[in-house]
Amino acid sequence: MHKEKILVIGASGQIGVELTLALRKMYGAAQVVAADLREQNPLLAGTGPYVSLDVMNKEMLHVQIIRQNITQVYLLAAILSATGEKNPSLAWNLNMQGLLNVLDIAREEKLNKVFWPSSIAVFGPSSPRVNCPQQTIIEPTTIYGISKYAGEFWCHYYWQRYGVDVRSIRYPGLISYKSAPGGGTTDYAVEIYHEALAKRSYSCFLKQDTYLPMMYMPDAIRATTELMEAPADRISVRTSYNLSAMSFSPAEIAHSIQKQIPDFSIGYQPDYRQSIADSWPQSIDDSVARRDWGWKPEYDLDAMTVDMLQNLR
Ligand code: NAD
Ligand code: AKB
């Protein structure tokens, strides 16, 4: 029986719903408290405890963590790349202050572990575009990427200076069918499946040959729990791990869908998100994660397409 008590902040989001459900399977429903600014979530209803909480309110967060005897925090509340460009100061404030609040409380309360996700958005136009390595030139040009890169160093600082066991992954674009994505540049790769089933056509906000690193949600959830379960001496990266599964363009995902839905068609109307996508690498080298804690993805594009369409139907 695990004695950990986990708080998932941002539990009603695209990752949060699935991560909360997975953690409840692993640790027991009562051991995983879902928390979000949103009052409730139908996908989590009846599956375990849920509290409405603002991560910006440090006092309330601290009270919850003490009251619920929390030993681990997964912090998912953030503003993503596309929404961030519309309101940069809001994105900076939430993405930074939310993290600092959690790291500070983790230090004071001597929490066992913290998980905080970074993103491939830390990389910028000067980073290598293909097989972008763990350590390289990193000059992000979006406020989201800037906040993630700064956050990585705050994590490293709290680990090095205070011994907080904080672990992190630079997620690629994540594709899932349970919970909707929350304002990112890679969201097209989720929308396209919904529209393929509903309308047999999709108008994409990125150009047809825009390659981006992507991952199916089951792989992302497994990576997260594997990283968090790994012995501390296997974790050599205390900023954030590169993680990779696949890389494809809008034209390629459309082709994969056409194998299942032959009359599906796609058009292209690039908008402001094109320049965000153009600033990111096309593919990621995740050899350090593979070496340190045995990371290996399971889903490629076609396997994901079959599973997405089956579940959405
Ligand atoms: P999301 O936008 O779907 O979910 C974020 C959740 O946080 C929402 O439910 C929102 O209500 C909640 N939230 C917002 N402000 C809050 C606050 N002040 N207090 C408490 N809760 C608040 O995001 P997501 O896609 O699930 O992403 C989760 C994390 O993973 C983020 O840090 C994101 O940057 C990172 N990430 C996501 C992806 C992806 O493709 N989804 C890729 C890379 C990194
Ligand atoms: C986004 O597009 O903003 C996210 C991410 C890659 O961090 N999906």
Backbone angles phi, psi at 132, to 5 degrees: -60, 120
Establish whether 144 is a catalytic residue.
Answer: yes
Contacts with 199 (C-beta within 8 Å, 6 or more apart), sequence order: none
What residues pair up with 216 in beta bridges, in sequence order?
175
Query: 10 Å Cβ neighbour count for 46?
Result: 7
Q: What is the pLDDT of residue 2?
A: 55
Q: Is 181 in the pocket of ligand 1 (CB under 6 A)?
A: yes
Query: 10 Å Cβ neighbour count for 269?
Result: 10
Q: What is the pLDDT of residue 92?
A: 98
**pTM (two decimals):** 0.97
Tokens 């998980």 belong to which residue?
115
CATH entry 3.40.50.1820 includes domain 6-172: no
CA within 13 Å, CB half, 270? 12
Alpha-carbon gap, residue 306 to 14, rounded angstroms? 20
Q: Which two tokens stand for residue 305?
A: 């397409």
Alpha-carbon gap, residue 247 to 173, rounded angstroms? 10
Pairing type for strands 169-171 and 72-75 reads unpaired
**Start and end residues for every CATH 3.40.50.720 domain found in the chain:** 6-172
Q: For the segment 178-236, what is each residue's pLDDT rounded down to a tens digit? A: 999 989 999 999 999 999 999 999 999 999 999 999 999 999 999 999 999 999 999 99
Residue type, 165: D
Alpha-carbon gap, residue 308 to 258, rounded angstroms? 13
Mutate to test the pocket of ligand 2, among 118, 143, 144 (most ligand atoms within 8 A of CB): 144
Alpha-carbon gap, residue 195 to 249, rounded angstroms? 17
Residue minimizing CA distance to atom 6 of ligand 2: 173
Q: What is the DSSP letter of 79?
A: -
Interval between CA 106 and ligand 2 midpoint (Å):
26
Q: Is 18 in the pocket of ligand 1 (CB under 6 A)?
A: no
CA within 13 Å, CB half, 39? 0
Q: Is 185 in the pocket of ligand 2 (CB under 6 A)?
A: yes
Q: What is the pLDDT of residue 90?
A: 97
Tokens 């051991």 belong to which residue?
31
Closest by alpha carbon to 220, among 279, 174, 273?
174
Residue minimizing CA distance to atom 39 of ligand 1: 174
Q: Is 51 in the pocket of ligand 1 (CB under 6 A)?
A: no
Q: What is the pLDDT of residue 3?
A: 86
Closest by alpha carbon to 97, among 56, 125, 65?
56
**Start and end residues for every CATH 3.90.25.10 domain found in the chain:** 174-214+244-312
Q: For the segment 125-156, what is each residue's pLDDT rounded down to a tens digit? A: 999 999 999 999 999 999 999 999 999 999 99
Tokens 């320049």 belong to which residue?
275
Q: Which residues of the chain register pLDDT less than 70?
A: 1-2
Interval between CA 151 and ligand 1 midpoint (Å):
14
Interval between CA 270 and ligand 1 midpoint (Å):
24
CATH hierarchy code of domain 174-214+244-312: 3.90.25.10
Q: Is 117 in the pocket of ligand 2 (CB under 6 A)?
A: no
Residue type, 202: Y
Q: What is the pLDDT of residue 222?
A: 98
Interval between CA 54 and ligand 2 midpoint (Å):
22
Q: Is 147 in the pocket of ligand 2 (CB under 6 A)?
A: no
Torsion of the alpha carbons at 206, 289, 137 and 139, rounded to the nearest 10: 50
Interval between CA 78 and ligand 1 midpoint (Å):
4
* Torsion sign (Cα): 219, 270, 195, 40: positive
